[in-house]
Amino acid sequence: MKDMYIKGSDSVCGVIGNPIAHTLSPLIHNALAKSLGQRAVYVPFCVTKENLKEAVFGAHALGIKGLNVTMPHKQEMFKYVVEVASEAQKVGAINTLVYTETGYIGHNTDAKGLALSLKEQHVVWNGKKVAIIGSGGAAYAAYTAVADEALEIYIINRTKEKAETLKAHMAQYFDTPTFVYEDCEDLVLDVDIVIQTTGLGMGSLKNQMPKCSKCLLKSAQVAVDLIYEPWETLFLKVAKEQECKCINGFGMLYYQAVIAFELMHHISCEQEKVLQIKHELLKNKEK
Ligand code: NAP
């Protein structure tokens, strides 16, 4: 019972997006706060595009210590922060706001979250050829996650122009050789790791996967899908048949939240506890 009371000295954090009902962020942040003994509560806020500016300035006036930012506000948020962290600049999106007296600092924790989830699964991309399917916000995070160490990056997208835009954006920060292709069934590329970042495989697109999947997965040893609902997408089913090591998007979601939690509360989480909380969340999910 004691845990249910919110004290006047507790920090308040949250997530803003629209829609917001599906978000798992409150579950993760509140579990982290409880297990790590951090006096904090984390709540979801449904905010429309029209209300975004008022919401951010209002949250600051209320002293909200940290906010996660999700669809569709990750790009628009650049207008409402007093400072942008370099990682957010590279990814071209803000997914975390951290309170300062003069306003919020905009961060992005998606790329580091993905990198941590791959490292946890012992994936090494140093000197490897990495294919990224998609060119939306998640692809920018995936590129940033692997670009420092990858040998070459191949961007494949339905709309080739968007892949070209991603390549040009990243050329400002990285000199990794990068090649761009339109998504098609007979795309033969010799790659080690494939990261699927499109929405194909979830919701109404549940039984779909990018056209290039089968062909690309023939050479790959590792297949990553940023989707975690469903747990195993069609892309990962095919990857499993091709004997690839398969990783879904839950690890990325979890670790981007852990990094955001550390930034919002100015703490460093104990690794053992972080792993323990992840296992508990997964155990509860299976029930
Ligand atoms: P986005 O910015 O809207 O980009 C969507 C991408 O999917 C684009 O490359 C788009 O291609 C492609 N696409 C969409 N519908 C398609 C179709 N019918 N056929 C072929 N390609 C299609 O979305 P996002 O923010 O990058 O998110 C993409 C996915 O990543 C979502 O499923 C999201 O849940 C997941 N995600 C996961 C995490 C995590 O923590 N695990 C974090 C962020 C995102 P075009 O350029 O041709 O339109």
Catalytic residue among 2, 34, 65, 74: 74
Ligand 1 pocket, residue 41 CB under 6 Å: no
Question: What are the distances in angstroms from CA 141 to CA 82, 94, 95, 156, 279?
Answer: 22, 11, 11, 15, 25
Ligand 1 pocket, residue 92 CB under 6 Å: no
- Residues 6 or more apart from 238 whose CB is under 8 A from it? 209, 213, 214, 217
Among the listed residues 23, 75, 22, 77, the one whose alpha carbon sits nearest the alpha carbon of residue 55: 77
Distance 133 CA to ligand 1 centre (A): 9
Per-residue pLDDT, 1: 41
Ligand 1 pocket, residue 260 CB under 6 Å: no
Q: At what angle do helices 110-120 and 137-146 cross, to 10 degrees?
A: 60
Measured between alpha carbons, how far is 75 from 66 in angstroms, rounded to an integer? Answer: 17
Question: Which pTM does this prediction carry?
Answer: 0.95
Region of 226 please: left (phi>0), alpha (psi -120 to 50) or beta: alpha
At 178-198, the pLDDT tens digits run 999 999 999 999 999 999 999
Q: Mutate which of 226, 247, 252 to test ligand 1's pocket (most atoms within 8 Å of Cβ)?
A: 226
Distance 200 CA to ligand 1 centre (A): 7
List per-residue pLDDT tens for the chain, 287 residues long: 455 688 999 999 999 999 999 999 999 999 999 999 999 999 999 999 999 999 999 999 999 999 999 999 999 999 999 999 999 999 999 999 999 999 999 999 999 999 999 999 999 999 999 999 999 999 999 999 999 999 999 999 999 999 999 999 999 999 999 999 999 999 999 999 999 999 999 999 999 999 999 999 999 999 999 999 999 999 999 999 999 999 999 999 999 999 999 999 999 999 999 999 999 999 887 66
DSSP conformation class of 6: P
287 has catalytic annotation:
no
